[in-house]
């Protein structure tokens, strides 16, 4: 992987030159070439991860590619969440894939905080200079605002918990799935978008949003709850009770009990 990184770095430097052109890439824009490099490298990482269990080297290289070629943009992060969902569903005992998804969520949260800070700073400048507010809006601030608004973090985190629930039901006795539930819920607790949504959303706004996003009645009720319950902690408790009352797998019961203890500690109760 070190050799591949060196080669990729050389390609990045060459593609950054405006006059660069090769026989195979005539007419292709540098951005397109970089995008193609990212896609090809992701395919290599997926193949390597599928050949060897817990191949952290492959996933670590995938993270490096995101950081140095993909620049951790929101689009790339969301694409990766989508493209790796099937893989982790087929490798429920391999924590390396779930660890990668945790990296994606943390990066999304960090990106949202950064974009939101840029937006706030530009709003403060515009408030101090009313004329500039109308005549000289920053194109960068507009792009950051559009990108930040396109990320519905609470929804993505809810979907990840739903994925964990489905996989735990389908494949009982896999500790990796319970650990990933822990980390996903922990990410939701630290997500600024989650906190803002839980505090600012009233019943009218909720109904309008839910009609567009198709939330269930249960999710609507949880959205009215305090911030710590914004991603359905009550639902998590009910799920644990269901597992403990119906499962016959000793490991599954042990993991469910440990998960409930973690929730109690997590909530400080």
Q: What is the dihedral of CA 53, 57, 62, 63, to 10 degrees?
A: 120
Burial class of residue 156, CB neighbours in 10 A (0-12, 13-18, 19+): buried
Which pLDDT does position 112 carry in this prediction? 77
Residue 119: pLDDT over 90 = no
Band of residue 199 on the pLDDT scale cut at 50, 70, 90: very low
28/21 Cα distance (integer angstroms): 8
Written as six digits, the tokens of 244 are 């403990």
Name the pLDDT band for 124 (thresholds 50, 70, 90). Answer: low
The predicted-structure confidence for 226-242, as pLDDT tens digits, reads as follows 444 545 688 899 999 99
Examine the pLDDT at 125 and tell me if it is beyond 70.
Answer: no
Q: CA-to-CA distance for 191 and 110, rounded, in angstroms? A: 9
Quote the CA–CA distance of 91 and 177 in Å, as a whole number: 10
What mean pLDDT is reported for the chain? 76
- Please give the model's pTM, rounded to 2 decimal places: 0.73
Comparing 256 with 190, which gets the higher pLDDT? Answer: 256
- How many CB atoms are located within 10 Å of the residue 250 CB? 9
């Amino acid at each position: 992987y070190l050799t591949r990184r060196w080669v990729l770095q050389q390609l990045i430097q060459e593609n950054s030159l405006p006059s660069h052109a090769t026989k195979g890439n005539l007419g292709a824009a540098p951005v397109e070439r970089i995008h193609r490099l990212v896609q090809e490298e992701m395919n290599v990482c997926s193949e390597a991860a599928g050949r060897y269990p817990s191949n952290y080297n492959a996933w670590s290289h995938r993270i490096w590619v995101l950081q140095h070629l993909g620049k951790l943009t929101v689009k790339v992060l969301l694409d990766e969440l989508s493209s790796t969902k099937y893989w982790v569903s087929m490798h429920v005992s391999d924590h390396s894939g779930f660890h990668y998804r945790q990296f994606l969520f943390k990066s999304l949260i960090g990106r949202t905080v950064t974009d939101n800070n840029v937006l706030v700073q530009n709003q403060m400048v515009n408030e101090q200079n009313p004329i500039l507010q109308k005549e000289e809006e920053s194109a960068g601030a507009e792009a950051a605002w559009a990108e930040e608004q396109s990320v519905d973090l609470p929804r993505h985190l809810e979907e990840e918990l739903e994925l964990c629930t489905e996989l735990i039901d389908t494949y009982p006795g896999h500790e990796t799935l319970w650990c990933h539930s822990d980390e996903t819920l922990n990410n939701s607790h630290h997500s600024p978008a989650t906190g803002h949504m839980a505090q600012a959303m009233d019943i009218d706004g909720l109904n309008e949003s839910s009609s567009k996003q198709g939330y269930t009645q249960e999710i609507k009720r949880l959205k009215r709850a305090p911030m710590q319950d914004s991603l359905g902690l009550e639902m998590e408790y009910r799920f644990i009770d269901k597992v403990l009352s119906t499962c016959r797998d000793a490991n599954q019961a042990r993991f469910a009990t440990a998960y409930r203890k973690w929730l109690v500690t997590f909530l400080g109760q």
